[in-house]
Amino acid sequence: MATLTYNNSKKVTVTLPTALIKRLDTFIPSRQRSRFVTLAIQEQLALLEQMAALEESAGSWTEEAHPEMKTPDDIEQWLQDLRKGWAA
């Protein structure tokens, strides 16, 4: 994970369920909460961004545009050819 710096930070107020705070207290010391929450938010945002990219690109692949990859055997051959290029 990337190193976090708080040079350019903004304090925000967030309300969390009491049960969630108790779970947080079990594992994360109070002086490390901001770091933990920052990492958790970064992870969730990365997932959301990946999902958005997948949704945006949905349908961009067509069999007509890639006739060389119509069957699993075709795909396997393509992968083998690609990997041969890596070894060269």
For residue 31, pLDDT over 90 is answered with yes
Residues 6+ positions from 37 with CB-CB distance below 8 Å: 14
- The pLDDT > 70 percentage for the chain reads 92
| pLDDT number for residue 5 | 66
What is the distance between the alpha carbons of residues 7 and 29, in angstroms, rounded to a whole number?
21
Using one digit for the tens of pLDDT, what is the confidence trace for 43-73? 999 999 999 999 999 888 888 888 888 899 9
For residue 8, pLDDT over 60 is answered with yes
What is the distance between the alpha carbons of residues 8 and 56, in angstroms, rounded to a whole number?
31
What is the distance between the alpha carbons of residues 46 and 3, in angstroms, rounded to a whole number?
16
